[in-house]
Amino acid sequence: MRITAYRTGNNAVGGVVLTFVDRTDYMLAEQRFHQLLESVPDAMILSNNIGEIVQVNRHAERLFGYEPGNMIGLPLDSLLPERFRERHQENRLQFYRKPLARPMGRPGLQLFALRADGNEFPADIAIGPIPGYYDQMYVATVRDIGTRRCQEFSLARANKMFYVFANWTQAHYLSSDKMGRSLELLCRNLVSVEGCSRCWICLDDTAPGMGLTLIAHGGFASTESTLPEPDWIDPGYGLTPLVIRRLVDKGVTDKLRQAAFGWGCNSILSIPMMAADRRVGVLVVCSMASDAFSVDEVSLWQTLSSSLAATLAMLPHSSLASKGS
């Protein structure tokens, strides 16, 4: 219903005119649109021409971790990590001038979105205008590709790891270098594998109960003030690797936590190097990713560490004592 004042010749209000409009078709169209929005298996976010969220489906609320209704009125930029927001505002204004349905970003660029709890996730995002609205509206479709990306990332990393170990094995048997120097080279090559930022190798001392000795490390600058200490992350004498994905968890020593934060490491894997039933030492790998070291990856690292342990078990500690000679 619309109410309009009726005025007489002297501009005095002489009455009102009531206009009734049948909105049944409009309401049915809105209802069908809402049902369509909820039926889409991806997160759908509708925004206006000033970049405010006006409607979302339940998939979007679950994906971004918001309570029902709490996303309405938020700026679109709040769903992006801080480092992308300024550039996104510029790109959004360009898109408004020529709104065409298209994937967001450019080829080769990995997009990230931001959940309500502050955690990021890799995403595929498509954007486009919604025709038929009296005010211009836009829709963004968001899909979490974390699982797919992790699988692709793990496969590429596995191939690189095998390449590094194969090259190192061949170089070791063809070289007259001391094993300690050779292990140092192995560590440096391992940190060239994407996702592996630092690593070190400790060997068990020959005398029982004497602990571990740091023998090689990679990824640390020559001016590094904090190098790993052997007892920081000992996985024990079993066959089970120790995986730390949260440095605030119990069991992480204060020294290791402080050092890892300084290194920029968020995940740590410590693998006992087992030759038959005897532990030879420990291989430790650090990653900057907070969700590194999947089950398959850990299994791969175990296989490679076992191969390394078999080689080391045949050598006396004296061949490792002097890395440079």
pLDDT band at 74 (very low <50, low <70, confident <90, very high): very high
Q: How far apart are CA 319 and CA 297, in angstroms?
A: 31
Please say which residue of 84, 117, 144 terminates a domain. Answer: 144
CB contact set of 33 (below 8 Å; sequence gap of 6+): none
CB contact set of 295 (below 8 Å; sequence gap of 6+): none
For 13, the enclosing helix (H) or strand (E) is strand 13-19
pTM: 0.54
Number of neighbouring beta carbons within 10 Å of residue 84: 17
Range with the largest mean pLDDT of 24-33, 63-72, 170-179, 197-206: 63-72
Q: How far apart are CA 284 and CA 106, in angstroms?
A: 37
Range with the largest mean pLDDT of 84-88, 171-175, 287-291: 84-88
Structure tokens at 150: 């992790």
CATH number at residue 236: 3.30.450.40
In a domain, 33, yes or no: no
In a domain, 23, yes or no: no
**Torsion 227-162-169-306 (CA) sign:** positive
Q: At what angle do helices 146-174 and 179-190 cross, to 10 degrees?
A: 160
Domain that holds residue 82: 40-144
pLDDT tens column, 262-311: 887 888 889 998 887 788 889 999 888 777 787 877 888 888 888 888 87
In a domain, 31, yes or no: no
pLDDT tens column, 140-160: 999 988 777 666 666 677 777
pLDDT at residue 133 is higher than 60: no
Question: What's the total number of domains in the chain?
Answer: 2
User: What is the distance of C-alpha 189 from the center of its chain?
Assistant: 23
